[in-house]
Copies of this chain bind each other. A is one copy, B any other.
Amino acid sequence: MNSDSRFVIVGLGLLGGAYALGLRKAGFQHVAAIDISEEALDFARRRDYIEEGRARDFADLLARADYIVFSLYPTTFIQWVEQYGQFLRPGCLCTDVSGVKLGLVDRVQALLPAGVEFIASHPMAGKERSGVENAHLVDFAPANFLITPTERNTEAGVAFARQLAQALGFARVHVISPAEHDRMIGYVSQLTHAIAVSLMCAPGAERFADYTGDSFRDLTRIASLNDAMWAELFLWNREYLTEEIDAFTARLQQLKGCLERGEREALREMFRTSTAARAAFDRKEREG
């Protein structure tokens, strides 16, 4: 990866835009984008996020690309690769930004032409807003960058993903399997969003705005989400997510059982467990 490298971003939304901007800031001259929206491309050209943008007739852009970043919803991503994957040239290295991996990575790898390596990755740096016009608000520095290789990936592929993360300013890079990734995301991100949505869907929840403190505000901040994208992510990861919902519900029912039976000591034990786990979490995060 050097200053002559040619990047193509496929899908110029919030993260695609943030990647383009980040790559330009890191000194890469040749960053192009493909998107169905001329408006998004115009915005990115005007702001100098990209050197070139196309909504159609982009085969030559793909044929010249050294590195491609797919920043599409999973379902669209697969459709795109089915239709245009043939235009990628052997030697080209690709990655993505998808929040789910299992099932997706294998399929994309199987669809791409021989000699084109797809190394999946996931920048955990979302925002409540979407769109390239909000791309400058994305902050990669404190976020995790997860690389999820399969047995089809090479060391060069993983090295590319690491270099990309470094160029974009991610301080934390981890390599884990697609299955570990999806299980972890099911718990850490999707379950928490499912909880926030369920909390905020209470009839008349907003009438309590007068009384709420920080805890309610904190727990429901992420109840404001991009419905199309999150429906994608939830449905792609439904097995792990439903498992996590079941496990969480069982723990909440355990707590409710203690309440109903008036088991003060058992309740206190749960509270001590959560307090200790949260302290361990804080320690690990500080050391991390």
In the assembled complex, the Cα of A43 lies from the Cα of B168 at a distance in Å of 51
A3 on the B face (CB < 8 A): no
Give, as a whole number of angstroms, the nearest-CB distance from A208 to chain B. Answer: 5
A166 contacts chain B at the CB level, 8 A cutoff: no
Q: Which of A124, A184, A199, A248 has the most CB of B within 10 A?
A: A199
Residues of chain B within 8 A of A247, CB atoms compared? 202
Do the beta carbons of A210 and B284 come within 8 Å of each other? yes
Compute how far the CA of A255 lies from the CA of B194 in the bound complex, rounded to whole angstroms: 7
Residues of B within 8 A of A259 (CB): 234-235, 238, 241-242, 245
What is the count of identical protomers in the complex?
2
Instruction: Find chain B residues with CB under 8 A from A245 CB.
Output: 252-253, 255-256, 259
Instruction: Say yes or no: B225 contacts A255, CB within 8 Å.
Output: no
Q: Decide: A200 and B277 in contact? CB cutoff 8 A.
A: yes
Q: A199 contacts which chain B residues (CB < 8 A)?
A: 191-192, 195, 248
Segment touching B, from A46-54, A58-66, A87-95, A211-219: A211-219
Bound-state Cα–Cα, A256 to B244, Å: 10
Closest to A269 in B: B227
Determine whether A1 belongs to the interface, using a CB cutoff of 8 Å to chain B: no
User: A160 near B: Cβ within 8 Å?
Assistant: no
Are A268 and B211 interface neighbours, CB within 8 A? no
Q: Give the docked Cα–Cα distance between A118 and B285 (Å).
A: 46
Q: Mark A249-273, 1 if CB is under 8 A from B, else 0.
A: 1011111100110101001111111
Contact present for A172 and B210 (CB under 8 Å): yes
28 inter-chain pairs at a CB distance below 8 angstroms, sorted by A residue, are A124-B213, A144-B210, A144-B211, A174-B210, A184-B211, A189-B215, A192-B199, A193-B215, A194-B255, A195-B199, A196-B219, A196-B274, A200-B273, A200-B281, A202-B251, A212-B281, A218-B221, A224-B274, A224-B279, A225-B271, A226-B271, A227-B275, A235-B267, A242-B260, A245-B253, A245-B255, A245-B259, A246-B256
